DNA sequence: CATGAATGAGCCTTCATTCAT
DNA sequence: CATGAATGAAGGCTCATTCAT
């Protein structure tokens, strides 16, 4: 419990990001956070006006010297690369954070949880921070499908995000499905490759089919 | 609702499935469940040996006269249909349950939450029940990719499941991304179509690429 | 901390009435009340839905077998006695409660505090219970001044109530003003006599003057 | 408000007097006071050795250039006026402060609260400051009843003070008793008139009766 | 002279569970 | 079978104060 060198505020942010990432908003008690930070429980209310304020701060905090935030990768802004490659880099970056350790990773994991199970009453800033990866994905997908409808782009964005976010939680699941499987260090890269390839094919092919489809009939045929 | 028609046990199961589906395991308090069931709070401990037992019961409960359980659809067992169509039917069925009401739907939603955020210490039976949709998906995908490696199949299963589960939670997200969007009644069918098309393309094309790829190089190039 | 013979609910009411009377709503902590009642702190929330509910229950509780409540004395309902005597009896009864011990007395003291420093958000029932002594006083004064205006009656009611309530708090004050003074057992009767005599004279004489007065001038002369 | 015009000490006094007057000692938090004063929370401990010291300072503070304090009015010191008129002027002055705004008014209101619900452990100086209005009243009443016993004078003092203090709190009460009543601007003067008239009659007549009464019998008859 | 930071104590409430009836 | 009563644990928060700067 040595206060170490960092500010209490910073230690609280660090501890909170880790515990929020691992246990969720409700599961991480303010007492546990302050204990892990080596601080008094009241310090959370003092510095962040309560547990929710701390949660928002974790979502919106940009470490000093780092330009972007949660899902920030340069890939989005380097249009020189081919679109498919930029998508793969983005996915790999996101997946790395969703599986990694350290403040950036935990922050991304908190944002991922926030997407799936939102905590009520957050500031718009915090909500936007959680949505940032999706917005960036939208830009990337729009670059890949320049002529697609907004709806088609949105569908693809959700498909890609769904895969990435699910892989965030799939450690447990894979282990249950195949207990003999050992999660390798390079697993993240293989997974990113898979999602990128899978999604590139899905987007491009499906977009063609969608355009030439008689949508009503296919839906009607379902039953 | 009607405190006399069904036994207390059944009313507790019904109320619990709904509240667990809507608010999750932690968010649904035992008091709220017993209140909604018109029963005493102690009834939960009495009938199910505690809140966790009730949760497990919701996951493993098979309504009388109904053969299967959570993800049970006939599509898996009717190999006459083309594989792609069976996949589409399965996805549509799952999505319908993830968006619907009634015990079956709530049960599926509880299972979905359990996949994404597992409650610790469940019985193997309950865990298996939550995993059933993934197992069924595995059978379907194996039918679509007869010659693929187990790993490739597992990847595809997770990709499809990720999309479906994310669409379960995406009402809020879509609304935030595009506040003007109104969720239509037929949305589920369109979404199922999209996921099926997207995933069929992803699976088939990606499988080819994966086979012919120099995997190491592509991963190495990533950084 | 023996639970004695009374219900936990009753013991809580008893302890709460005493502590609320002595320390006020804020000053009496829920912990202290439950401790004095020999009960668990959570029992308050269980039986009364929180501290405020307990406070309301103290105000509105009518002990079994007792017809009226807080300021209930028979004097109001026995129009056979001369009005002045009924007033004296009422004042004496009220003062006795404001100075005494036991549930009835503490209840009256809580109501007195509630008049002077209201606790926000109480039910109408509780508010009415606190006001009951004033309403009864109004009836008595109306009997004494049958032809006076409503305003004159209200003024007199407040004057009498003001005296009684202030005597409730004046133990400390008298002691400070005249430290040698010993508060005798018969003090309450003497005080009631004084207030009754003082107020009877004030009401009757002042009412005459008020009627024959040029009110505007007297007020104008004030400055 | 203007953080530079007055010293921090003075701004704290001003803010504290207002908040103590409106919310009482417990209800006014040190944070709220320092915030309203535009000062740091620690300033209270620094300047006044804690919240209680600030409270004492509010009670004992005499604004520079002003001779008297809380209940100070010239009426007490001008024996030329008839006693009844001096009483009326005193009552009006007190009531005006108990209903008004500004430091003097808030100070009087704090003193009034202190009479009704004393804060423990105050210095003698502060206690005396709160009692000053009663002492002044005693002088006035002694002038009106030159031959009465000390006890009779004290009784009358408490009766008058009780009325005045209760009118301080009666805004809420009157509103509850008679919701249609609108508190007029001139209400204070009318009320002062009433209390003065009521009390003059009470004092003079009651004093006669008291002298000629068989006290024991009347008290004995009470039950 | 003033402040931001930090603290320990205390507050009220909710929760899942247990027990006697 | 079912229930009302009761409980201990934990949770988030506010408060007045202290301390180093």
Q: Where residue A33 sits, what CATH number does that domain have?
A: 1.10.10.60
CB contact (8 A) between residue C166 and residue D166: yes
Same domain, C80 and C184: yes
User: Which of D13, D39, D60 marks a domain boundary?
Assistant: D60
Min Cα distance C50 → chain D (Å) is: 20
Chains that touch D (3 or more CB pairs under 8 A): C
**Over 80: is that where the pLDDT of C67 sits?**
no
Q: Which chain E positions come under 7 Å from a protein C-beta?
A: 1-20
Q: Are D85 and D74 in contact (CB under 8 A)?
A: no
The per-residue pLDDT for C65 is: 55
What the block records as the tokens of B219 is: 């991963």
Residue A187's CB: how many other CB atoms inside 10 A? 16
CA B167 to chain CA centroid, Å, is: 11
Same domain, C86 and C185: yes
C197 domain-assigned: yes
CA A79 to chain CA centroid, Å, is: 22
Which of residues B207 and A50 earns the better pLDDT score?
A: A50
Furthest C-alpha separation in chain C: 67
**Residue A104 CB partners (closer than 8 Å, separation 6+):** A63, A97
**Over 80: is that where the pLDDT of C31 sits?**
yes
User: At D102, which helix (H) or strand (E)?
Assistant: none
Which of residues D123 and C206 earns the better pLDDT score?
A: D123
B208 domain-assigned: yes
Whole-number Å distance between alpha carbons of D74 and D81: 11
Same domain, D50 and D89: no
Residue D91, domain extent: 73-222
D16 domain-assigned: yes
Residues 22-51, chain A: which have Cβ under 7 A from strand E?
A: 39-43, 46-47
Which of residues A183 and A215 earns the better pLDDT score?
A: A183
A68 domain-assigned: no
C89 domain-assigned: yes
User: Is residue B120 classed as helix, strand or coil in its secondary structure?
Assistant: coil
Same domain, A46 and A128: no
**Residues A32-71: tens digit of each pLDDT:** 999 999 999 999 999 999 999 999 999 999 866 554 445 5
Same domain, A30 and A107: no
C7 domain-assigned: yes
User: Is residue B70 classed as helix, strand or coil in its secondary structure?
Assistant: coil
Give the residue-averaged pLDDT of C144-153: 90
Residue D112: closest CA among D132, D139, D90, D130: D130
The per-residue pLDDT for A76 is: 54
Task: Place B169 in a pLDDT band, splitting at 50, 70 and 90.
Answer: confident
The per-residue pLDDT for B65 is: 54
| Complete DSSP assignment for A113-160 | HHHHSPPTT--HHHHHHHHHHHHHHHHHHHHHSTTS-HHHHHHHHHHH
The DSSP call for residue D119 is: P
The per-residue pLDDT for D3 is: 44
Task: Place B6 in a pLDDT band, splitting at 50, 70 and 90.
Answer: confident
The per-residue pLDDT for D211 is: 59
C152 domain-assigned: yes
Task: Place B212 in a pLDDT band, splitting at 50, 70 and 90.
Answer: low
The per-residue pLDDT for A221 is: 38
Q: Are D110 and D169 in contact (CB under 8 A)?
A: no
D159 contact residues in C (CB cutoff 8 A)? 163, 194-195, 198
Q: Tell me, yes or no, if B82 comes closer than 8 A to chain A by beta carbon.
A: no
Whole-number Å distance between alpha carbons of A116 and B111: 15
Residue B85: closest CA among A209, A198, A221: A221
Same domain, D86 and D190: yes
The per-residue pLDDT for D94 is: 95
Q: What is the pLDDT along chain D (223 residues), one digit of tens a residue?
A: 444 467 889 999 999 999 999 999 999 999 999 999 999 999 999 999 999 999 999 999 986 655 444 544 545 555 567 888 999 999 999 999 998 999 999 999 999 999 989 998 899 999 999 999 999 999 999 999 999 988 899 999 999 999 999 988 877 787 777 777 766 667 888 899 999 999 999 998 876 765 555 444 333 333 3
Same domain, C88 and C49: no
Mean pLDDT of chain B: 84
**Residue C209 CB partners (closer than 8 Å, separation 6+):** D197, D201
User: Which of C12, C31, C60 marks a domain boundary?
Assistant: C60
The per-residue pLDDT for A205 is: 82
**Domain at C197, CATH number:** 1.10.357
What is the distance in angstroms measured between the alpha-carbon CA of D24 and the sugar C1' of E3?
A: 27
What is the distance in angstroms measured between the alpha-carbon CA of B194 and the sugar C1' of E13?
A: 47
Burial class (CB within 10 angstroms; exposed 0-12, middle 13-18, buried 19+) of D55: buried
The per-residue pLDDT for D70 is: 52
Residue B17: closest CA among B26, B6, B25, B7: B25
Same domain, A156 and A199: yes
**Residues B19-57: tens digit of each pLDDT:** 999 999 999 999 999 999 999 999 999 999 999 999 999
Q: Tell me, yes or no, if B53 comes closer than 8 A to chain A by beta carbon.
A: no
Same domain, B97 and B205: yes
D188 contact residues in C (CB cutoff 8 A)? none
Same domain, B44 and B81: no
Lowest mean pLDDT among B161-170, B179-188, C1-10: C1-10
Same domain, B94 and B153: yes
The per-residue pLDDT for C80 is: 63
List the Cα angle D150/D154/D160 in 5-degree steps: 145
Min Cα distance C16 → chain D (Å) is: 19
Give the residue-averaged pLDDT of B61-66: 68
Q: b/e string for B59-86 if b means 16 or more Cβ within 10 A? A: bbbeeeeeeebbbbbebbeeeeeebbeb
- Percentage of chain C exceeding pLDDT 90: 61
- Percentage of chain A exceeding pLDDT 90: 61
Any atom of strand E under 7 A from CB of B42? Answer: yes
Task: Place A218 in a pLDDT band, splitting at 50, 70 and 90.
Answer: very low
The per-residue pLDDT for C93 is: 95
User: At A6, which helix (H) or strand (E)?
Assistant: none
A166 contact residues in B (CB cutoff 8 A)? 116, 158-159, 161-162, 165-166
For chain D, the domain total comes to 2
**Residues A112-158: tens digit of each pLDDT:** 999 999 998 999 999 999 999 999 999 999 999 999 998 899 999 99
D65 domain-assigned: no
Chains D and A touch (3+ CB pairs under 8 A): no
User: Is residue A186 classed as helix, strand or coil in its secondary structure?
Assistant: coil
Task: Place A167 in a pLDDT band, splitting at 50, 70 and 90.
Answer: confident
**Over 80: is that where the pLDDT of B142 sits?**
yes
| Integer angstrom CA distances of residue A204 from A146, A199, A210, B163 | 11, 8, 10, 17
Q: Are C38 and C4 in contact (CB under 8 A)?
A: yes
Beta strand ranges found along chain A (DSSP E): none
Which of residues A222 and A112 earns the better pLDDT score?
A: A112
Same domain, B122 and B214: yes
**Over 60: is that where the pLDDT of B104 sits?**
yes
Residue C197: closest CA among A11, D205, A218: D205
Whole-number Å distance between alpha carbons of C205 and A196: 97
Task: Place C197 in a pLDDT band, splitting at 50, 70 and 90.
Answer: very high
The per-residue pLDDT for A179 is: 72
What the block records as the tokens of A172 is: 């447990």
Mean pLDDT of chain C: 84
User: At A169, which helix (H) or strand (E)?
Assistant: helix A150-177
Residue D11: closest CA among D69, D52, D54, D59: D54
Q: What share of chain A is helix, strand, coil (3-state, %, to 5)?
A: 70, 0, 30
Residue A216's CB: how many other CB atoms inside 10 A? 10
| Complete DSSP assignment for C76-108 | GG-TTS-HHHHHHHHHHHHHHHHH--SHHHHHH
């Amino acid at each position: 419990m040595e206060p170490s060198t960092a500010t209490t505020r910073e230690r609280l942010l660090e501890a909170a990001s880790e515990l929020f990432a691992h246990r969720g908003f409700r599961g991480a008690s303010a007492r546990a956070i302050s204990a892990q930070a080596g601080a008094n429980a009241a310090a959370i209310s003092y510095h962040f006006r309560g547990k929710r304020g701390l949660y928002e701060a974790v979502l919106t905090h940009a470490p000093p010297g780092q330009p972007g935030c949660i899902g920030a990768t340069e890939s989005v802004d380097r249009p020189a690369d081919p679109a498919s490659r930029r998508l793969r880099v983005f996915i790999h970056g996101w997946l790395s954070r969703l599986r990694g350790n350290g403040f950036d990773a935990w922050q991304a994991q908190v944002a991922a949880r926030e997407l799936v199970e939102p905590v009520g009453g957050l500031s718009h800033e915090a909500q936007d921070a959680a949505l940032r990866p999706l917005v960036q994905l939208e830009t990337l997908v729009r670059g890949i499908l320049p002529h697609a409808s907004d709806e088609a782009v949105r569908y693809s964005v959700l498909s890609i995000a769904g895969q990435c976010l699910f892989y965030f939680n799939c450690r447990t699941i894979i282990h249950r499905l195949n207990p003999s499987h050992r999660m390798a260090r390079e697993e993240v890269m293989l997974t990113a490759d898979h999602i990128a390839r899978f999604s590139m094919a899905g987007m491009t092919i499906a977009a063609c089919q969608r355009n030439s489809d008689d949508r009503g009939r296919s839906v009607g045929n379902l039953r």
